[in-house]
Structure 1
């Protein structure tokens, strides 16, 4: 690759309203904010993004841009290390972690575009099709809305794995949780896999009791039954639950992932490149999981994760999260098709293959 010096770093925030109010076990929202970072060198632009408060855009412009401007675009590992040093006193979790993640994705996209190769081929592909699962089923949905969403995924798009939210109102409505799980099973039929996500809404023993009841509906994936920080609770549920227990997406450093794996807290480690350091953080975390003989799953931001997932040997699947897929399909050219329960990473365009539709995004811009 020719010597290319980074000459511009920009960041913008876009707040996109949801189609209807959305909620899970511990949070409710009516809009989602996406922070988009662009890094330019030699007339070529790399793009990265994260789903974070708009303050992450200001953090990129005010704290991180100066580290990159004037540096060579080819040395992404060195640039990632420099970003990590820059945020030492700001901390890796939270706003700083989101910002670093979006910048790292933009840097890898830039490098691949400068070379003229797809990211999946730059890293080396482990597969040409990436398995996925439909994710939504928010606790704010009524039964008709839940049925319609699940039926479309399974019976129209041929997606054989789906996930709904439970743990409603911080675990205070297990009766409705179980009703919705049964509704989901009736809707998708016997052959599709059924997953649930409590978003940390239960206590450990409560999660065990709910898991026992959900066994009647053949639930095979129980995400964050308790807080991702409660490793002992996760381990208890894992030991007592027939479904695979997963958590981990909120961790922002390798120490967190290492502790979770070493504690025997999960059956599959969930990783979010938009929070844990971008693509660089993704591959570091997948290596930690592989060292503990665990598979990994990508959390949210499906189109961003697609090329990295294609290059990951110990991948189980990626989350085709309704909220983020809707935004990415509207605001980017190049969004993938999930039909058949698999998606193909872009192999005919350089980088991750997505280009922001600036005109479409502008009406949502807040920073």
Structure 2
């Protein structure tokens, strides 16, 4: 038995490079919660993007459950964590906390075995397709053009996404203008995606989709709230673009309901919210059982090993905010040039290590 010695958690608040907003939320900083797990003089690292309360939950509720467990038996530890969180609820801070610990445990196991995570999981492909994601509603036209042109023309990423649904769907004219700006910026050969973050009603989304189709939009993410399965299904049945949602799901029951409802064309999975890598593979299995592809939501470097090990993967979201933070705070971040990114195969685990300089952003 290789006993887990200690679990530590810390929160880091990183300012955005400019104000950011989507259809239903605005922010000027992002909080990263990092978990470290120790066994036999080896440390595994996991993280999530969550309120600092998730770090407190790790320390106060999960650390005692995980310490002393066998580092090789992650499913047993994952089950123990979910049971410990029963009265806290899986959504919210508890779900984020479990996810970050689970990622740290998988990274620890791979490092103890001296193997890259993708080899431990079993690779389905050497690298994964990515799409550039940003285009926040706070951006002016010039900022949007510069970001999208950087991805499409300088880095050669053949698919990009912008935010729409501004002010909870009350500015559809500006939404359509920004989509036109995006199409002009990337040209006809680049796939164009949009994400409303649940800002529209179902019928409003259907009406707008007919106009978005004229700009070649092929991916409509969360046109209505991810909780509105009937609304998602209505939009999916009425429009030509693929409808995607699911990233806020924190348990496998939610993903099952979404697939059974016929609500999406592609299921989005976020390992930083749904229970880490353990939760990712459970959700991916549910999607496969319903003949759906999956897409990784945000946290691109964290998702790369699991994405590369998933046969039914469509792509990984190269989300501007998280990609910038991971490149700044971790050694070993990947390069999306050419439209694909490759998980680390030359070092054990996921290959990312928190830099000492991250301490300057610590808030908990």
Q: Shared topology, TM-score over 0.5?
A: yes
Task: Deviation per CA, 1:209-265: give whole Å up to 9, x if none.
Answer: 110000110000000000000000000000111100000000100110000000000
Match of 1:203 among 201, 204, 214: 201
Helix, strand or coil: the match of 1:6?
Answer: coil
Please, which runs of 5 or more residues in structure 2 have no aligned partner?
A: none
The alignment's TM-score, normalised by the length of structure 2, stands at 1.00
Instruction: Tell me what 2:284 maps to.
Output: 286
Q: Secondary structure at the match of 1:257?
A: helix
Q: Is 1:21–2:19 an aligned residue pair?
A: yes
Partner of 1:64: 62
Counterpart position of 2:43: 45
Name structure 1 gaps, 5 residues minimum: none
Q: Distance in 2 between the 1:226 and 1:183 partners? A: 23
Counterpart pick for 1:231 among 229, 233, 236: 229
Pairs within 5 Å for 1:24-103? 24-103=22-101
Q: Which of residues 105, 108, 133 is equivalent to 1:107? A: 105
1:363 corresponding residue in structure 2: 360
Q: Quote how far apart the aligned CAs of 1:68 are.
A: 1.1
SS at match of 1:89: helix
Partner of 1:331: 329
Say which of 150, 154, 157 aligns to 2:155. Answer: 157
TM-score, normalising length: structure 1? 0.99
CA displacement at 1:4 relative to structure 2: 1.6
Q: Aligned runs of 1:285-304 on 2, under 5 Å?
A: 285-304=283-302
Q: Which aligned runs of 4 or more in structure 1 are off by greater than 2 angstroms?
A: none
In the aligned structure 1, how far is the partner of 2:274 from the partner of 2:305? 16
Q: Write the deviation string for residues 85-110 of structure 1: whole angstroms up to 9, x where unpaired.
A: 10011110000000000000000000
Aligned equivalents of 1:304, 1:188: Cα separation in 2: 27
| CA shift for structure 1 position 69 | 1.0
Q: What is the SS of the residue equivalent to 2:324?
A: helix
Match of 1:249 among 231, 247, 254: 247
Aligned-residue offset at 1:196: 0.1
- RMSD of aligned Cα (Å): 0.4
Query: How far did residue 120 of structure 1 move?
Result: 0.2
**Which residue of the other structure, out of 254, 260, 263, is the alignment partner of 1:262?**
260
Measured after TM superposition, the shift of residue 49 of structure 1 is 0.2
Post-superposition shift, 1:273? Answer: 0.1
Partner of 2:139: 141
Tell me the distance in 2 between the aligned counterparts of 1:68 and 1:289: 29
The 1-side partners of 2:68 and 2:311 are apart by 35
Between the aligned partners of 2:360 and 2:331, the Cα distance in structure 1 is 17
Cα distance in 2 for residues equivalent to 1:143 and 1:362: 35
- Note the alpha carbon deviations across 1:273-297, whole angstroms, 9 max, x for none: 0000000000000000000000000
Secondary structure of the equivalent of 2:218?
strand
Q: Any idea what the Cα deviations from partners look like across 1:53-82, whole Å, max 9, x if unmatched?
A: 001001000000000111211100100010
Residue 183 (structure 1) shift: 0.5
Q: In 2, distance between residues paired with 1:234 and 1:6? A: 43
Task: Look up the SS of the partner of 2:86 in the other structure.
Answer: coil
CA distance in 1 between partners of 2:212 and 2:69 (Å): 54
What is the distance in 2 between the residues matched to 1:300 and 1:210?
25
- CA distance, structure 2, for counterparts of residue 351 and residue 124 of structure 1: 13
Give how far 1:5 is off.
Answer: 1.1
